[in-house]
């Protein structure tokens, strides 16, 4: 496939588009995932085209050269690894469908990624964020426009911290969610997988108060003048920065994803099982959830410090990371 999207010389169909259609049909890839794959694939194919290389004829050295070219362009190792994952899937598709005789990505190793810990907020910081949001609702008084904006933000915060939803799942909740009598929501996540997420009384109250201020009936819990008809992820992230600043928090430390991290980390701090947190977050693989084990490590060290019988004699030795 050429960089301009035209069909490859080997046939009338565009394997790149067929690859994306396969991801959508066979793996249930969401629109956001497909858009990310499209961007990554276009960048890779443009690189090959500039070198006069047909994707069906690419070799491992050329794939490695492309991956190596990403770092000088400012891409982190994690972004380069994600891009290689896209390229690997594409070339495997070409090979499986007979467009290419080999898969050039087979011997290519992924860039080594640093295992950074996720940014999280403390329980006290989340409490401050929520308290400030409640104060803004009270301060709005009879000003309907301000009350509506403040109520929406409080509802978003209460729901996100109560459920750990992905931001794309949160902003696209149906209005019917506010009418549930259950203490949970059924959410369809990545790959069309459904899961149950908990609802606190505060989250349910915030939903009802928010819906009471909406102007008219509609399908979305957070309607907006956007292409989708509901609040966008970008708009929520922007408004959350303002809410963080009002609460006296550093805005670079607060985002929808950071609150999702806080939900998971605070559950683990209070004794939740890692498998339970995996289910609540909607992770298909527990290895994705294991980034939070640093929280478990700290809790285990605390248990040894507080409960080990030798600690009373002053013989306590701090344990390291549990492998």
Is 91 an active-site residue? no
Is 257 an active-site residue? yes
Does residue 149 lie within any of the structural domains?
Answer: yes
Tell me the HSE value of 221 on the side-chain side, using a 13 A CA sphere.
Answer: 26
Does residue 152 lie within any of the structural domains?
Answer: yes
Is 260 an active-site residue? yes
* Contact criterion met (CB below 8 Å) for 184 and 196: yes
Residue 238: how many CB atoms within 10 A of its CB? 10
Is 292 an active-site residue? yes
pLDDT for res 77: 82
Residues in CB range of 156: below 8 A, 6 or more apart: 170, 222, 236, 240
Residues in CB range of 90: below 8 A, 6 or more apart: 15, 16, 19, 41, 44, 55
pLDDT for res 114: 55
Q: Which of 253, 286, 310 is the last residue of a domain?
A: 253
Note whether 56 and 133 are same-domain residues: no
pLDDT for res 284: 62
Question: Is residue 305's pLDDT more than 90?
Answer: no
Residue 92: how many CB atoms within 10 A of its CB? 15
Does residue 47 lie within any of the structural domains?
Answer: yes
Is 37 an active-site residue? no
Q: Which of 64, 92, 134, 190 is flagged as catalytic?
A: 190
Rg of the chain on CA atoms, in Å: 24
Convert the pLDDT of each residue in 281-301 to its tens digit.
876 666 656 666 655 555 555
181 vs 232, higher pLDDT = 232
Note whether 128 and 247 are same-domain residues: yes
Between CA 30 and CA 19 the distance in angstroms is 14
Q: Which of 257, 294, 299, 308 is flagged as catalytic?
A: 257
CA-based nearest residue to 256, from 245, 241, 276 = 241
Note whether 138 and 32 are same-domain residues: no
Does residue 295 lie within any of the structural domains?
Answer: no
Between CA 304 and CA 152 the distance in angstroms is 43
Q: Which of 37, 99, 161, 292 is flagged as catalytic?
A: 292
Note whether 81 and 143 are same-domain residues: no
Using the structure block, give the residue that is written with the tokens 């819906």: 211
State phi, psi for 202 to the nearest 5 degrees. -65, -40
CA-based nearest residue to 41, from 96, 83, 103 = 83
Q: Running DSSP on this structure, what letter comes out for residue 196?
A: E
Q: Running DSSP on this structure, what letter comes out for residue 252?
A: G
Q: Which of 83, 152, 166, 266 is flagged as catalytic?
A: 166
How does the average pLDDT of the chain come out, rounded?
A: 82
| pTM reported for the whole predicted model | 0.59
Q: What is the CATH classification number for the domain harbouring 76? A: 1.10.150.130
65-69, 214-218, 247-251, range with the lowest pLDDT: 214-218
Q: Strand, helix or coil at 241?
A: helix
Does residue 195 lie within any of the structural domains?
Answer: yes
**Rounded to the nearest 10 degrees, what angle do helices 123-140 and 233-246 cross at?**
90
Q: Strands, E, within the chain: which ranges?
A: 184-188, 194-198
Between CA 59 and CA 56 the distance in angstroms is 9
Q: Which helix (H) or strand (E) holds 299?
A: helix 293-307
Convert the pLDDT of each residue in 252-263 to its tens digit.
899 998 998 888
Note whether 127 and 247 are same-domain residues: yes
Q: Could you tell me the residue range of the domain that residue 73 belongs to? A: 15-96
Is 308 an active-site residue? no
Q: What is the CATH classification number for the domain harbouring 221? A: 1.10.443.10
Residues in CB range of 33: below 8 A, 6 or more apart: 23, 190
Domain count, the chain: 2
- 242 exposure class (CB count in 10 Å sphere: 0-12, 13-18, 19+): exposed
């Amino acid at each position: 496939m050429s960089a301009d999207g035209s069909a490859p010389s080997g046939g009338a169909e565009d394997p790149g588009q067929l690859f994306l259609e396969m991801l959508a049909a066979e793996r249930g890839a969401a629109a956001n995932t497909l858009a990310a794959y499209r961007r990554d694939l276009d960048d890779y194919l443009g690189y090959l085209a500039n070198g006069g290389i047909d994707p069906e004829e690419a070799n491992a050295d050329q794939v490695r050269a492309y991956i190596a070219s990403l770092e000088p362009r400012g891409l982190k190792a994690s972004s380069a690894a994600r891009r290689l994952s896209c390229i690997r899937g594409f070339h495997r598709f070409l090979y499986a469908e007979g467009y290419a005789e080999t898969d050039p990505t087979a011997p290519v190793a992924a860039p080594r990624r640093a295992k950074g810990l996720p940014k999280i907020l403390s329980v006290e910081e989340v409490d401050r964020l929520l308290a400030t949001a409640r104060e803004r609702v009270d301060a709005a008084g009879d000003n309907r426009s301000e009350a509506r904006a403040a109520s929406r933000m409080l509802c978003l915060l209460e729901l996100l911290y109560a459920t750990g939803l992905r931001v794309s799942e949160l902003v696209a909740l149906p209005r019917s969610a506010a009418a549930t009598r259950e203490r949970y929501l059924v959410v369809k996540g990545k790959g069309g997988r459904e899961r149950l997420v908990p609802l606190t009384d505060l989250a349910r109250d915030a939903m009802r108060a928010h819906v009471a201020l909406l102007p008219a009936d509609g399908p979305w819990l957070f309607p907006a003048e956007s292409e989708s008809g509901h609040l966008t992820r970008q708009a929520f992230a922007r408004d959350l920065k303002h809410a963080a600043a009002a609460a006296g928090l550093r805005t670079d430390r607060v985002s929808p994803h950071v609150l999702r991290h806080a939900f998971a980390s605070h559950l683990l701090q209070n004794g939740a099982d890692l498998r339970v947190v995996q289910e609540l977050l909607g992770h298909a693989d527990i290895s994705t959830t294991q980034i939070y084990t640093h929280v478990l490590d700290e809790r285990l060290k605390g248990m040894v410090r507080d409960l080990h019988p030798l600690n009373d004699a002053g013989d306590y030795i701090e344990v390291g990371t549990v492998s």
